Structure 1
Protein backbone atom coordinates (compact mmCIF):
# COMPACT_ATOMS: atom_id res chain seq x y z
CA UNK A 1 0.00 0.00 0.00
CA UNK A 2 1.09 3.56 -0.65
CA UNK A 3 -1.34 5.67 1.37
CA UNK A 4 -4.28 5.81 3.75
CA UNK A 5 -6.99 5.30 1.09
CA UNK A 6 -5.19 2.30 -0.38
CA UNK A 7 -4.73 0.84 3.11
CA UNK A 8 -8.43 1.37 3.92
CA UNK A 9 -9.55 -0.45 0.76
CA UNK A 10 -7.19 -3.38 1.36
CA UNK A 11 -8.29 -3.67 4.98
CA UNK A 12 -11.95 -3.73 3.94
CA UNK A 13 -11.26 -6.48 1.38
CA UNK A 14 -9.35 -8.41 4.04
CA UNK A 15 -12.33 -8.17 6.39
CA UNK A 16 -14.74 -9.35 3.66
CA UNK A 17 -12.52 -12.37 3.05
CA UNK A 18 -12.06 -13.15 6.73
CA UNK A 19 -15.69 -12.57 7.72
CA UNK A 20 -17.20 -16.00 6.91
CA UNK A 21 -14.50 -17.86 8.87
CA UNK A 22 -16.33 -18.20 12.18
CA UNK A 23 -19.68 -19.16 10.64
CA UNK A 24 -18.30 -21.72 8.21
CA UNK A 25 -16.08 -23.21 10.90
CA UNK A 26 -19.08 -23.66 13.19
CA UNK A 27 -21.18 -25.16 10.39
CA UNK A 28 -18.35 -27.57 9.53
CA UNK A 29 -18.04 -28.69 13.14
CA UNK A 30 -21.82 -29.18 13.32
CA UNK A 31 -21.51 -31.46 10.27
CA UNK A 32 -18.51 -33.40 11.50
CA UNK A 33 -18.66 -33.90 15.27
CA UNK A 34 -20.98 -35.68 17.72
CA UNK A 35 -22.72 -33.45 20.24
CA UNK A 36 -20.57 -34.58 23.16
CA UNK A 37 -17.39 -33.46 21.34
CA UNK A 38 -18.44 -30.07 19.97
CA UNK A 39 -16.90 -28.02 22.81
CA UNK A 40 -13.47 -29.54 22.32
CA UNK A 41 -13.77 -29.36 18.54
CA UNK A 42 -14.68 -25.67 18.53
CA UNK A 43 -12.04 -24.90 21.17
CA UNK A 44 -9.27 -26.78 19.39
CA UNK A 45 -10.16 -25.33 15.98
CA UNK A 46 -10.45 -21.73 17.14
CA UNK A 47 -7.32 -21.95 19.29
CA UNK A 48 -5.49 -21.38 16.03
CA UNK A 49 -6.63 -17.75 16.07
CA UNK A 50 -4.82 -16.55 19.24
CA UNK A 51 -1.98 -19.02 18.62
CA UNK A 52 -1.51 -17.37 15.24
CA UNK A 53 -1.47 -13.98 16.95
CA UNK A 54 1.13 -15.26 19.43
CA UNK A 55 3.37 -16.50 16.63
CA UNK A 56 2.76 -13.42 14.49
CA UNK A 57 3.83 -10.96 17.22
CA UNK A 58 7.54 -11.93 17.30
CA UNK A 59 7.66 -12.98 13.62
CA UNK A 60 6.19 -9.74 12.26
CA UNK A 61 8.07 -7.61 14.80
CA UNK A 62 11.50 -9.15 14.28
CA UNK A 63 11.20 -9.66 10.49
CA UNK A 64 9.92 -6.09 10.21
CA UNK A 65 12.86 -4.73 12.23
CA UNK A 66 15.45 -6.58 10.13
CA UNK A 67 13.92 -6.61 6.63
CA UNK A 68 11.13 -4.03 6.66
CA UNK A 69 7.38 -4.26 7.23
CA UNK A 70 6.55 -5.20 3.63
CA UNK A 71 8.63 -8.40 3.84
CA UNK A 72 6.88 -9.29 7.12
CA UNK A 73 3.51 -9.05 5.38
CA UNK A 74 4.73 -11.18 2.47
CA UNK A 75 5.85 -13.93 4.88
CA UNK A 76 2.40 -14.02 6.50
CA UNK A 77 0.70 -14.04 3.08
CA UNK A 78 2.74 -17.06 1.96
CA UNK A 79 1.55 -18.98 5.03
CA UNK A 80 -2.02 -18.27 3.91
CA UNK A 81 -1.41 -19.86 0.51
CA UNK A 82 0.10 -22.94 2.18
CA UNK A 83 -3.07 -23.25 4.29
CA UNK A 84 -5.32 -23.01 1.21
CA UNK A 85 -3.47 -25.91 -0.43
CA UNK A 86 -3.78 -28.05 2.72
CA UNK A 87 -7.48 -27.19 3.11
CA UNK A 88 -8.36 -28.17 -0.46
CA UNK A 89 -6.49 -31.43 -0.03
CA UNK A 90 -7.82 -32.47 3.40
CA UNK A 91 -11.30 -31.03 3.87
CA UNK A 92 -14.73 -32.21 2.71
CA UNK A 93 -18.03 -30.59 3.67
CA UNK A 94 -19.49 -33.71 5.30
CA UNK A 95 -18.13 -37.05 6.56
CA UNK A 96 -20.16 -38.82 3.88
CA UNK A 97 -18.03 -37.09 1.23
CA UNK A 98 -14.63 -37.97 2.71
CA UNK A 99 -12.93 -41.14 1.42
CA UNK A 100 -11.07 -41.74 4.70
CA UNK A 101 -14.20 -41.92 6.89
CA UNK A 102 -15.53 -45.43 7.40
CA UNK A 103 -19.22 -46.45 7.61
CA UNK A 104 -19.17 -46.89 11.42
CA UNK A 105 -17.76 -43.42 11.99
CA UNK A 106 -20.23 -41.85 9.56
CA UNK A 107 -23.11 -43.52 11.39
CA UNK A 108 -21.81 -42.34 14.79
CA UNK A 109 -21.48 -38.73 13.64
CA UNK A 110 -24.85 -38.73 11.88
CA UNK A 111 -26.65 -40.15 14.91
CA UNK A 112 -25.12 -37.71 17.41
CA UNK A 113 -24.82 -34.45 15.53
CA UNK A 114 -25.57 -31.38 17.70
CA UNK A 115 -28.86 -30.36 16.12
CA UNK A 116 -30.38 -33.77 15.35
CA UNK A 117 -33.38 -33.05 17.55
CA UNK A 118 -34.50 -30.37 15.06
CA UNK A 119 -32.62 -31.16 11.86
CA UNK A 120 -35.19 -29.99 9.36
CA UNK A 121 -33.69 -28.68 6.15
CA UNK A 122 -34.47 -25.03 5.28
CA UNK A 123 -36.78 -26.03 2.41
CA UNK A 124 -38.74 -28.29 4.78
CA UNK A 125 -38.93 -25.75 7.61
CA UNK A 126 -42.17 -23.79 7.23
CA UNK A 127 -41.00 -21.02 9.57
CA UNK A 128 -39.06 -17.95 8.49
CA UNK A 129 -35.37 -17.92 9.41
CA UNK A 130 -36.02 -14.56 11.12
CA UNK A 131 -38.06 -16.42 13.76
CA UNK A 132 -34.80 -18.09 14.74
CA UNK A 133 -32.23 -15.32 14.38
CA UNK A 134 -34.33 -12.74 16.28
CA UNK A 135 -35.31 -15.15 19.05
CA UNK A 136 -34.21 -14.31 22.60
CA UNK A 137 -31.80 -17.26 22.98
CA UNK A 138 -29.95 -16.40 19.74
CA UNK A 139 -29.82 -12.71 20.68
CA UNK A 140 -28.51 -13.72 24.12
CA UNK A 141 -25.66 -15.73 22.56
CA UNK A 142 -24.92 -12.84 20.19
CA UNK A 143 -24.82 -10.39 23.12
CA UNK A 144 -22.33 -12.50 25.08
CA UNK A 145 -20.26 -12.93 21.92
CA UNK A 146 -20.34 -9.17 21.28
CA UNK A 147 -19.07 -8.41 24.79
CA UNK A 148 -16.25 -10.96 24.41
CA UNK A 149 -15.38 -9.52 21.00
CA UNK A 150 -15.15 -6.01 22.44
CA UNK A 151 -12.40 -7.24 24.77
CA UNK A 152 -10.77 -9.22 21.97
CA UNK A 153 -10.60 -6.25 19.58
CA UNK A 154 -9.54 -3.99 22.43
CA UNK A 155 -6.52 -6.23 22.94
CA UNK A 156 -5.92 -6.78 19.21
CA UNK A 157 -5.95 -3.09 18.31
CA UNK A 158 -4.58 -1.38 21.42
CA UNK A 159 -2.43 -3.86 23.39
CA UNK A 160 0.77 -3.07 21.41
CA UNK A 161 0.23 0.67 21.92
CA UNK A 162 -0.55 0.15 25.60
CA UNK A 163 2.69 -1.79 26.12
CA UNK A 164 4.83 0.73 24.21
CA UNK A 165 3.16 4.05 25.12
CA UNK A 166 1.91 3.41 28.66
CA UNK A 167 4.29 0.70 29.91
CA UNK A 168 7.22 2.15 27.88
CA UNK A 169 8.43 -1.08 26.27
CA UNK A 170 10.49 -0.88 23.08
CA UNK A 171 9.20 -2.68 19.98
CA UNK A 172 11.58 -5.64 20.39
CA UNK A 173 10.51 -6.24 24.01
CA UNK A 174 6.84 -5.74 23.14
CA UNK A 175 7.12 -8.33 20.34
CA UNK A 176 8.29 -10.91 22.89
CA UNK A 177 6.16 -10.00 25.92
CA UNK A 178 3.11 -9.42 23.70
CA UNK A 179 3.07 -13.16 22.98
CA UNK A 180 1.94 -14.03 26.53
CA UNK A 181 -1.71 -12.84 26.33
CA UNK A 182 -2.21 -14.77 23.09
CA UNK A 183 -0.71 -17.92 24.54
CA UNK A 184 -3.15 -17.45 27.42
CA UNK A 185 -5.99 -17.06 24.92
CA UNK A 186 -4.95 -20.31 23.23
CA UNK A 187 -5.09 -22.07 26.60
CA UNK A 188 -8.53 -20.53 27.19
CA UNK A 189 -9.88 -21.83 23.90
CA UNK A 190 -8.59 -25.34 24.54
CA UNK A 191 -9.46 -25.41 28.24
CA UNK A 192 -12.93 -23.94 27.75
CA UNK A 193 -13.82 -26.61 25.21
CA UNK A 194 -12.55 -29.42 27.42
CA UNK A 195 -14.33 -28.09 30.52
CA UNK A 196 -17.65 -27.51 28.75
CA UNK A 197 -17.67 -31.06 27.34
CA UNK A 198 -16.72 -32.44 30.77
CA UNK A 199 -19.59 -30.53 32.40
CA UNK A 200 -21.98 -31.82 29.75
CA UNK A 201 -20.95 -35.43 30.39
CA UNK A 202 -21.54 -34.98 34.13
CA UNK A 203 -24.78 -33.00 34.00
CA UNK A 204 -26.24 -34.15 30.66
CA UNK A 205 -27.45 -30.56 30.42
CA UNK A 206 -26.03 -28.95 27.28
CA UNK A 207 -27.44 -25.50 28.01
CA UNK A 208 -26.17 -25.36 31.60
CA UNK A 209 -22.69 -26.62 30.75
CA UNK A 210 -22.14 -24.00 28.03
CA UNK A 211 -23.72 -21.11 29.92
CA UNK A 212 -21.63 -21.84 33.00
CA UNK A 213 -18.39 -21.72 31.01
CA UNK A 214 -19.38 -18.43 29.38
CA UNK A 215 -20.48 -16.92 32.69
CA UNK A 216 -17.30 -17.85 34.59
CA UNK A 217 -15.09 -16.86 31.66
CA UNK A 218 -16.59 -13.37 31.36
CA UNK A 219 -16.68 -12.89 35.14
CA UNK A 220 -12.98 -13.58 35.68
CA UNK A 221 -12.05 -11.62 32.54
CA UNK A 222 -14.06 -8.62 33.82
CA UNK A 223 -12.23 -8.71 37.16
CA UNK A 224 -8.77 -8.98 35.57
CA UNK A 225 -9.45 -6.18 33.08
CA UNK A 226 -10.78 -4.02 35.93
CA UNK A 227 -7.62 -4.58 37.99
CA UNK A 228 -5.46 -3.77 34.95
CA UNK A 229 -6.93 -0.26 34.99
CA UNK A 230 -5.01 0.39 38.24
CA UNK A 231 -1.86 -1.51 37.30
CA UNK A 232 1.27 0.62 37.03
CA UNK A 233 4.05 -1.90 36.33
CA UNK A 234 4.48 -4.08 33.27
CA UNK A 235 4.68 -7.42 35.16
CA UNK A 236 1.33 -7.07 36.89
CA UNK A 237 -0.31 -5.58 33.79
CA UNK A 238 0.82 -8.38 31.48
CA UNK A 239 -0.07 -11.01 34.11
CA UNK A 240 -3.61 -9.62 34.49
CA UNK A 241 -4.12 -9.25 30.74
CA UNK A 242 -2.90 -12.82 30.21
CA UNK A 243 -5.34 -14.13 32.85
CA UNK A 244 -8.12 -12.07 31.28
CA UNK A 245 -7.29 -13.65 27.92
CA UNK A 246 -7.34 -17.18 29.36
CA UNK A 247 -10.84 -16.79 30.78
CA UNK A 248 -12.31 -14.49 28.13
CA UNK A 249 -11.35 -16.95 25.40
CA UNK A 250 -13.33 -19.68 27.13
CA UNK A 251 -16.39 -17.78 25.87
CA UNK A 252 -16.52 -18.00 22.04
CA UNK A 253 -16.32 -21.76 21.64
CA UNK A 254 -19.05 -22.16 24.28
CA UNK A 255 -21.14 -19.60 22.35
CA UNK A 256 -20.71 -21.50 19.08
CA UNK A 257 -21.47 -24.84 20.76
CA UNK A 258 -24.52 -23.35 22.46
CA UNK A 259 -25.81 -22.01 19.15
CA UNK A 260 -25.60 -25.50 17.64
CA UNK A 261 -27.98 -26.76 20.32
CA UNK A 262 -30.37 -23.82 20.10
CA UNK A 263 -30.86 -23.61 16.32
CA UNK A 264 -31.92 -26.50 14.03
CA UNK A 265 -29.23 -27.90 11.74
CA UNK A 266 -30.81 -26.47 8.59
CA UNK A 267 -30.58 -22.93 10.00
CA UNK A 268 -27.20 -23.06 11.77
CA UNK A 269 -25.31 -21.39 8.91
CA UNK A 270 -27.65 -18.41 8.65
CA UNK A 271 -28.07 -18.03 12.41
CA UNK A 272 -24.31 -18.31 12.90
CA UNK A 273 -23.74 -15.62 10.29
CA UNK A 274 -26.20 -13.34 12.04
CA UNK A 275 -24.56 -13.91 15.43
CA UNK A 276 -21.15 -13.30 13.86
CA UNK A 277 -22.44 -10.08 12.30
CA UNK A 278 -23.71 -8.71 15.61
CA UNK A 279 -20.62 -9.89 17.48
CA UNK A 280 -18.24 -8.32 15.00
CA UNK A 281 -19.85 -4.93 15.33
CA UNK A 282 -17.51 -4.84 18.32
CA UNK A 283 -14.66 -4.93 15.84
CA UNK A 284 -15.95 -1.65 14.42
CA UNK A 285 -16.78 -0.01 17.74
CA UNK A 286 -14.02 -1.19 20.07
CA UNK A 287 -10.93 0.32 18.38
CA UNK A 288 -12.64 3.67 17.74
CA UNK A 289 -14.22 4.01 21.18
CA UNK A 290 -10.95 2.99 22.84
CA UNK A 291 -9.00 5.54 20.83
CA UNK A 292 -11.49 8.27 21.76
CA UNK A 293 -11.30 7.36 25.45
CA UNK A 294 -7.49 7.27 25.43
CA UNK A 295 -7.26 10.70 23.83
CA UNK A 296 -10.23 12.51 25.37
CA UNK A 297 -11.87 10.37 28.06
CA UNK A 298 -9.32 9.66 30.76
CA UNK A 299 -6.75 7.49 28.98
CA UNK A 300 -6.21 3.75 29.18
CA UNK A 301 -7.74 3.68 32.68
CA UNK A 302 -11.21 4.53 31.33
CA UNK A 303 -10.81 2.19 28.35
CA UNK A 304 -10.10 -0.77 30.65
CA UNK A 305 -13.07 0.15 32.87
CA UNK A 306 -15.45 0.14 29.89
CA UNK A 307 -14.16 -3.24 28.65
CA UNK A 308 -14.68 -4.69 32.13
CA UNK A 309 -18.22 -3.28 32.35
CA UNK A 310 -19.15 -4.80 29.00
CA UNK A 311 -17.96 -8.23 30.15
CA UNK A 312 -20.37 -7.94 33.10
CA UNK A 313 -23.14 -6.84 30.70
CA UNK A 314 -22.50 -9.95 28.61
CA UNK A 315 -22.97 -12.16 31.68
CA UNK A 316 -26.27 -10.50 32.58
CA UNK A 317 -27.68 -10.66 29.04
CA UNK A 318 -26.74 -14.32 28.76
CA UNK A 319 -28.50 -15.13 32.04
CA UNK A 320 -31.64 -13.16 31.10
CA UNK A 321 -32.07 -14.15 27.44
CA UNK A 322 -30.76 -17.71 27.11
CA UNK A 323 -33.18 -19.85 29.12
CA UNK A 324 -34.39 -23.40 28.76
CA UNK A 325 -37.96 -22.29 28.08
CA UNK A 326 -36.94 -20.17 25.11
CA UNK A 327 -34.71 -22.93 23.73
CA UNK A 328 -37.56 -25.45 24.04
CA UNK A 329 -39.81 -23.04 22.13
CA UNK A 330 -37.33 -22.91 19.24
CA UNK A 331 -37.04 -26.70 19.18
CA UNK A 332 -40.82 -27.06 19.09
CA UNK A 333 -40.99 -24.47 16.32
CA UNK A 334 -38.58 -26.43 14.15
CA UNK A 335 -40.35 -29.73 14.83
CA UNK A 336 -43.76 -28.47 13.64
Structure 2
Protein backbone atom coordinates (compact mmCIF):
# COMPACT_ATOMS: atom_id res chain seq x y z
CA UNK A 1 0.00 0.00 0.00
CA UNK A 2 2.91 2.35 0.67
CA UNK A 3 4.41 2.01 -2.83
CA UNK A 4 1.43 3.40 -4.76
CA UNK A 5 0.66 6.03 -2.10
CA UNK A 6 4.20 7.40 -2.01
CA UNK A 7 4.49 7.20 -5.80
CA UNK A 8 1.23 9.13 -6.17
CA UNK A 9 2.41 11.74 -3.64
CA UNK A 10 5.74 12.13 -5.44
CA UNK A 11 4.01 12.44 -8.84
CA UNK A 12 1.51 15.05 -7.64
CA UNK A 13 3.43 16.94 -4.94
CA UNK A 14 7.07 16.33 -5.87
CA UNK A 15 9.73 14.36 -4.05
CA UNK A 16 10.62 17.21 -1.68
CA UNK A 17 7.11 17.27 -0.26
CA UNK A 18 7.16 13.49 0.17
CA UNK A 19 10.48 13.83 2.00
CA UNK A 20 9.04 16.43 4.40
CA UNK A 21 5.78 14.55 4.95
CA UNK A 22 7.46 11.23 5.71
CA UNK A 23 10.14 12.95 7.79
CA UNK A 24 7.43 14.72 9.79
CA UNK A 25 5.67 11.42 10.34
CA UNK A 26 8.96 9.92 11.58
CA UNK A 27 9.55 12.81 13.99
CA UNK A 28 5.95 12.53 15.27
CA UNK A 29 6.46 8.81 15.86
CA UNK A 30 9.74 9.52 17.70
CA UNK A 31 8.00 12.06 19.96
CA UNK A 32 5.25 9.57 20.81
CA UNK A 33 7.91 6.94 21.49
CA UNK A 34 9.85 9.23 23.84
CA UNK A 35 6.62 10.14 25.67
CA UNK A 36 5.40 6.55 26.13
CA UNK A 37 8.46 4.30 26.41
CA UNK A 38 10.61 4.28 29.55
CA UNK A 39 13.92 2.60 30.37
CA UNK A 40 12.85 1.37 33.79
CA UNK A 41 9.42 0.27 34.98
CA UNK A 42 9.46 2.69 37.93
CA UNK A 43 9.73 5.60 35.49
CA UNK A 44 6.44 4.77 33.77
CA UNK A 45 3.42 6.58 35.25
CA UNK A 46 0.98 3.69 34.64
CA UNK A 47 2.93 1.01 36.51
CA UNK A 48 1.33 0.37 39.89
CA UNK A 49 3.14 -0.42 43.13
CA UNK A 50 2.07 -4.07 43.15
CA UNK A 51 3.13 -4.54 39.53
CA UNK A 52 6.45 -2.82 40.20
CA UNK A 53 7.19 -5.20 43.11
CA UNK A 54 6.36 -8.19 40.88
CA UNK A 55 8.63 -6.95 38.08
CA UNK A 56 11.61 -6.03 40.27
CA UNK A 57 11.50 -8.79 42.90
CA UNK A 58 14.32 -10.77 41.24
CA UNK A 59 16.60 -7.78 40.62
CA UNK A 60 19.54 -7.05 42.85
CA UNK A 61 20.41 -3.45 43.56
CA UNK A 62 23.10 -2.39 41.09
CA UNK A 63 26.25 -0.90 42.55
CA UNK A 64 29.41 0.45 40.95
CA UNK A 65 31.33 -2.83 41.21
CA UNK A 66 28.52 -4.71 39.46
CA UNK A 67 28.55 -2.15 36.66
CA UNK A 68 32.31 -2.59 36.31
CA UNK A 69 31.85 -6.37 36.10
CA UNK A 70 29.13 -5.86 33.45
CA UNK A 71 31.51 -3.71 31.38
CA UNK A 72 34.22 -6.37 31.57
CA UNK A 73 31.70 -9.08 30.69
CA UNK A 74 30.52 -7.07 27.71
CA UNK A 75 34.05 -6.73 26.35
CA UNK A 76 34.75 -10.41 26.94
CA UNK A 77 31.50 -11.46 25.23
CA UNK A 78 32.07 -9.15 22.26
CA UNK A 79 35.59 -10.52 21.85
CA UNK A 80 34.17 -14.05 21.91
CA UNK A 81 31.58 -13.18 19.25
CA UNK A 82 33.97 -11.34 16.95
CA UNK A 83 36.30 -14.34 16.82
CA UNK A 84 33.55 -16.58 15.39
CA UNK A 85 33.29 -17.15 11.62
CA UNK A 86 29.52 -17.58 11.83
CA UNK A 87 29.09 -14.11 13.28
CA UNK A 88 31.13 -12.66 10.42
CA UNK A 89 28.88 -14.60 8.05
CA UNK A 90 25.86 -12.96 9.66
CA UNK A 91 27.53 -9.55 9.33
CA UNK A 92 28.28 -10.18 5.66
CA UNK A 93 24.74 -11.43 4.97
CA UNK A 94 23.19 -8.44 6.69
CA UNK A 95 25.46 -6.08 4.75
CA UNK A 96 24.40 -7.76 1.48
CA UNK A 97 20.71 -7.52 2.35
CA UNK A 98 20.94 -3.88 3.42
CA UNK A 99 22.97 -2.92 0.33
CA UNK A 100 20.53 -4.65 -1.99
CA UNK A 101 17.56 -3.01 -0.29
CA UNK A 102 19.23 0.40 -0.50
CA UNK A 103 19.88 -0.13 -4.22
CA UNK A 104 16.31 -1.14 -5.00
CA UNK A 105 14.78 1.63 -2.90
CA UNK A 106 16.97 4.49 -4.13
CA UNK A 107 18.87 3.94 -7.39
CA UNK A 108 16.73 1.42 -9.24
CA UNK A 109 13.52 3.52 -9.42
CA UNK A 110 15.56 6.46 -10.75
CA UNK A 111 17.11 4.21 -13.40
CA UNK A 112 13.71 2.86 -14.46
CA UNK A 113 12.27 6.37 -14.68
CA UNK A 114 15.18 8.08 -16.47
CA UNK A 115 16.57 5.33 -18.69
CA UNK A 116 13.60 3.03 -19.32
CA UNK A 117 10.81 5.63 -19.34
CA UNK A 118 8.73 4.03 -16.59
CA UNK A 119 6.54 6.64 -14.94
CA UNK A 120 6.74 7.02 -11.18
CA UNK A 121 3.05 6.18 -10.70
CA UNK A 122 3.25 3.05 -12.83
CA UNK A 123 6.41 1.99 -11.02
CA UNK A 124 4.64 2.39 -7.68
CA UNK A 125 1.75 0.24 -8.83
CA UNK A 126 4.17 -2.37 -10.20
CA UNK A 127 5.99 -2.46 -6.86
CA UNK A 128 2.71 -2.85 -4.99
CA UNK A 129 1.60 -5.64 -7.33
CA UNK A 130 4.84 -7.53 -6.75
CA UNK A 131 4.26 -7.45 -3.00
CA UNK A 132 0.73 -8.89 -3.20
CA UNK A 133 0.35 -12.64 -2.82
CA UNK A 134 -0.59 -14.33 -6.08
CA UNK A 135 -4.14 -15.56 -6.36
CA UNK A 136 -5.27 -18.71 -8.07
CA UNK A 137 -5.43 -18.12 -11.81
CA UNK A 138 -8.30 -20.56 -12.24
CA UNK A 139 -11.20 -19.90 -9.88
CA UNK A 140 -12.77 -23.22 -10.89
CA UNK A 141 -11.33 -25.62 -8.33
CA UNK A 142 -13.22 -28.58 -9.75
CA UNK A 143 -11.49 -28.53 -13.10
CA UNK A 144 -9.73 -31.70 -14.16
CA UNK A 145 -6.10 -31.76 -13.08
CA UNK A 146 -3.42 -33.38 -15.23
CA UNK A 147 -2.78 -37.02 -14.45
CA UNK A 148 0.78 -38.29 -14.34
CA UNK A 149 1.30 -41.89 -15.53
CA UNK A 150 2.73 -44.30 -12.98
CA UNK A 151 3.81 -47.92 -13.34
CA UNK A 152 0.94 -50.38 -13.04
CA UNK A 153 -1.56 -48.27 -14.96
CA UNK A 154 -2.37 -46.05 -11.99
CA UNK A 155 -2.33 -42.28 -12.27
CA UNK A 156 -1.77 -39.49 -9.78
CA UNK A 157 -2.66 -35.86 -10.10
CA UNK A 158 -0.02 -33.21 -9.63
CA UNK A 159 -1.38 -32.66 -6.10
CA UNK A 160 -0.59 -36.24 -5.14
CA UNK A 161 -4.22 -37.37 -4.80
CA UNK A 162 -4.55 -40.83 -6.35
CA UNK A 163 -7.06 -41.07 -9.19
CA UNK A 164 -7.68 -43.57 -11.92
CA UNK A 165 -6.40 -42.59 -15.31
CA UNK A 166 -9.20 -41.24 -17.55
CA UNK A 167 -10.13 -43.60 -20.43
Residues 94-113 of structure 1: CA deviation (Å, up to 9, x unaligned): 11211112344434544689
Equivalent of 1:127 in 61, 68, 72: 72
**Mapped partners of 1:153, 1:103: distance in 2:** 47
* Secondary structure of residue in 1 paired with 2:72: coil
Q: Which has the higher strand share?
A: 2
**Mapped partners of 2:76, 2:90: distance in 1:** 20
Match of 1:65 in 2: 11
Distance 1:62 1:80, change over 3 A: same
Cα RMSD, aligned residues only: 4.1
**Mapped partners of 1:69, 1:168: distance in 2:** 18
Per the normalisation by structure 2, the TM-score is: 0.53
Distance 1:136 1:179, change over 3 A: same
Matches within 5 A, 1:128-277: 129-136=74-81, 139=84, 140-141=86-87, 143-158=89-104, 161=108, 164=112, 170-179=119-128
Match of 2:47 in 1: 101
Distance 1:157 1:121, change over 3 A: farther
Greater Rg by CA: 2
Q: Which has the higher helix share?
A: 1
Q: Which has the higher contact order (CA 8 A, sep 6+)?
A: 1
Distance 1:171 1:94, change over 3 A: same
**Mapped partners of 1:71, 1:104: distance in 2:** 49
Per the normalisation by structure 1, the TM-score is: 0.30
Residue 171 of structure 1: how far off its partner (Å): 2.4
User: Any gaps of 5 or more consecutive residues in structure 2?
Assistant: 60-64, 135-167
Distance 1:92 1:125, change over 3 A: closer
Q: How many residues align?
A: 125
